Amino acid sequence: MVYETIAFALFALVTVGCSLGVVLVRDIWHSALLLGGALLSVAVHYVMLQAEFLAAMQVLVYVGGVLILITFAVMLTRINPEVSST
């Protein structure tokens, strides 16, 4: 019981820390990675609540879908400073 409380508190701190990092970090790539960390820690909370299906859907839909979409958007829209238009 004590281990579950410690694990819950640890992953709650990870969730809050990553969520604050998403908002406060200025680089969009780092923000996307922190969003992935926050979403994965929410999935761990679902596993701790014995809701494995919700955890799997959290990982598949949000981490696998939304985060990959953000990653591709960042990669395709990043402005390269070496290339200048004339």
User: Containing domain of residue 57, as a range?
Assistant: 2-77
Burial of 51 (0-12, 13-18, 19+ CB in 10 A): middle
Query: Residue 26 domain-assigned?
Result: yes
Q: What are 46-74's pLDDT values in tens digits?
A: 999 999 999 999 999 988 888 889 888 88
- Which tokens belong to 67? 């985060």
**pTM for this prediction:** 0.81
Looking up tokens 């281990």 gives: 3
Q: How many domains does the chain have?
A: 1
Query: Residue 39 domain-assigned?
Result: yes
* Residue 83 banded pLDDT, cuts 50, 70, 90: low
CATH code, domain with 22:
1.20.120.1200
Percent of the chain scoring above 90 in pLDDT: 65
